[in-house]
Structure 1
Amino acid sequence: MAPVAGDTQTETVTRRLRDGMGNGVLSFPLTAFHDDGSLDPEGFRAHVAAQLATAPGALFPACGTGEFFSLDEDEYRRVVEIAVEEAAGRVPVVAGTGYGWAQAARFARIAERAGADALLVLPHYLVAAPQDGLAAQLEQLAARTRLPIVAYQRGQVAYDVRAFKRIAKIPRVIGLKDGHSDLDRLQRLTLAAPEGFLFFNGAATAEIQARSYAAVGVPAYSSAVHAFAPEIANAFFAALRDGDHGTVDKLLRDFYVPFVELRDRVPGYAVSLVKAAARLRGRPVGPVRAPLTEPSPDDLAGLKTLLTTGLDLVGAAL
């Protein structure tokens, strides 16, 4: 991370995120909608409060699991405001932003006014781009916000070492979330990183690969499971941290692997299954927005059975 003279905010947020990711799962809350598809602010508030009650390491509203791509600017503002209000300084709030840098900067300004601590920059929209363009995208955004930035490589965004060194020098770029699971590439990036740079495992259902990521120096991870079953997510985190390989293996074998197999049946299930599972737990998160679709009745029944199994494993009830 390139130093910014007098930028105590960046230093403070980096420290708080480092502390948080070492002590708990990173929470990516679901954005709540009414049955007609409109934003449900109070449903979202209740969901965030329930997430915070389980002591996550940080809160990441309006990101992929939170259907950032479906929110207009007013809805985004309200979601970030509620997250900040509920967090009340207890954990860092890292708001999603994305699209091209001009639109990402608009969302960044909204997040800044709403009180977010930092930004997670989601992959840009549609087009493939060369490495210099990927780096320039972050440079343009960083020049237009005072918030610290975590880059996210996934989809069409994948940094090589040269581009990574360039983005790591950008003022206020403090970390990288990886969703590619290319551990050879990731190891090269961690070795090229400046001291204190943050890395996050952002693979889909990150617990599946948590041990592999930790082996290359990236133990912190986001957990979609935490959005509907924090009991399972926290039990896995504790077992992994404590070297309880028997519990890790059992949770992987009997819950996480079957969940991934169900998730992979239909595009978009990485979000819609999570939302359906949250509703099964009584969380007022509502439906997904198109283009995502709800799980089929058969898949919903399988999800309920699997969720009951996972909760049983950690001594919790549906």
Structure 2
Amino acid sequence: MRLDGVLFFPVTPFGAGGGVAEDVLAEHVAGGVAAGAGGVFAAGGTGGVNAPDLPEYTAAVATAVAATAGRVPVFAGAGGVPPTARAIARAAADSGADGLLVMPPYLVTAPPGGLVRYVREVTEAAGLPAVVYQRGTARFTPAAVAELAELPQVIGFKDGLGDFDLLQRIILTVRRTTDREFTFFNGLPTAELTVPAYRGLGVTLYSSAVFAFAPEIALAFHDAVTGGDEERARLLLTDFYLPLVELRDLVPGYAVSLVKAGVRLRGLDVGGVRAPLVDPLPEHVERLEKILAAGLEVAGA
């Protein structure tokens, strides 16, 4: 299964009653696919994988699958303690997802061998192709990733650490030890800011949270980078992505809640975030609106 282009990480809308707003999610996903997403990652980090219970998670994945209608692959987030991760992995498979994004087992620091075991158990529960996300407490060694690359379900590795020395060693080790097709992803928050650095390592795929609320900007940046338009890419980084990251870093969790605020600014009522995250302050939403307007202007939207 090949992924290409801009990868779309939709938010998970919550309605007035507190549950998943399936009709709003369907509109959100269908709009993103129509805008040109290369893949949909439902109930992932941007989608608040930590927030829904199992029935809500199942509804979110099933809705994303139906709204995508087979036009691009749908991957579903799976993480947390092993029994939960296995249960939601099975739910993703039953809901028609094409693959998994295996998230870190948060708050647990484990050795590389334990992390490999965790990935094996989660992927075997679903029997789906999986991308493994290195972030937080899930930090892999080159040898561990080479072991992951031998697992039949694991097709890729998403880096959310930004440790380029480690990532280079991982890439070289995997390429030396396996001839399988194995894909590496840039998974840092607001990944576009580091796309040039990752491309220097040969990592061209990246997740775009911005696509969830400003596909015009995300696609303009992707086109500029892949088309060699360095000046336009620099303008988008300077006028939009840099101030967005500066705003994001003011409050922990804004990598998710600012994206939801951005979707609301574009006219889709996706509700707020659940605890322990917090919604942006009004003055931060005002800043986001100005940053968004600047980005749309540079993108020519």
Question: What TM-score comes out, normalization by structure 2 length?
Answer: 0.96
Q: What secondary structure is seen at the aligned counterpart in 1 of 2:106?
A: coil
Alignment partners' CA distance in 1, 2:56 and 2:118: 24
Q: Do the aligned residues in 1 keep the contact of 2:143 with 2:170 (CA within 8 Å)?
A: no
Q: What secondary structure is seen at the aligned counterpart in 1 of 2:13?
A: coil
Say which of 226, 232, 236 aligns to 2:217.
232
Say which of 162, 174, 177 aligns to 2:143.
162
Q: Do the aligned residues in 2 keep the contact of 1:273 with 1:294 (CA within 8 Å)?
A: yes
- Percent identity between matched residues is 48
Alignment partners' CA distance in 1, 2:16 and 2:261: 13
Alignment partners' CA distance in 2, 1:308 and 1:139: 44
- Which amino acid in 1 is paired with 2:142? V
List 4+ stretches of structure 1 deviating above 6 A.
none
Q: Does 1:292 align with 2:277?
A: yes
1:6: which partner in 2?
none
- Which amino acid in 1 is paired with 2:225? L
Say which of 89, 95, 104 aligns to 2:70.
89
TM-superposed CA distance for 1:163, in Å, is: 1.1
1:314: which partner in 2?
299
Please provide the CA RMSD for this pair. 1.0
TM-superposed CA distance for 1:122, in Å, is: 0.5
- Which amino acid in 1 is paired with 2:104? P
Q: Does 1:72 align with 2:81?
A: no
Structure 2 residue ranges without an equivalent (≥5): none
Higher relative contact order structure (alpha carbons within 8 Å, sequence separation ≥ 6): 1
1:208: which partner in 2?
193
Q: Does 1:283 align with 2:264?
A: no
TM-superposed CA distance for 1:37, in Å, is: 2.8
Question: Which stretch of the first structure deviates more once superposed, 236-245 or 41-50?
Answer: 41-50
Q: Does 1:106 align with 2:91?
A: no
Number of aligned residues:
297
Alignment of 1:103-142 (within 5 A): 103-142=84-123
Q: What secondary structure is seen at the aligned counterpart in 2 of 1:68?
A: coil
Structure 1 residue ranges without an equivalent (≥5): 1-12
Q: What secondary structure is seen at the aligned counterpart in 2 of 1:184?
A: helix
Question: Which stretch of the first structure deviates more once superposed, 281-290 or 59-68?
Answer: 281-290
Question: What TM-score comes out, normalization by structure 1 length?
Answer: 0.91
Q: What secondary structure is seen at the aligned counterpart in 2 of 1:120?
A: strand
Alignment partners' CA distance in 2, 1:140 and 1:310: 42
Say which of 267, 286, 293 aligns to 1:301.
286
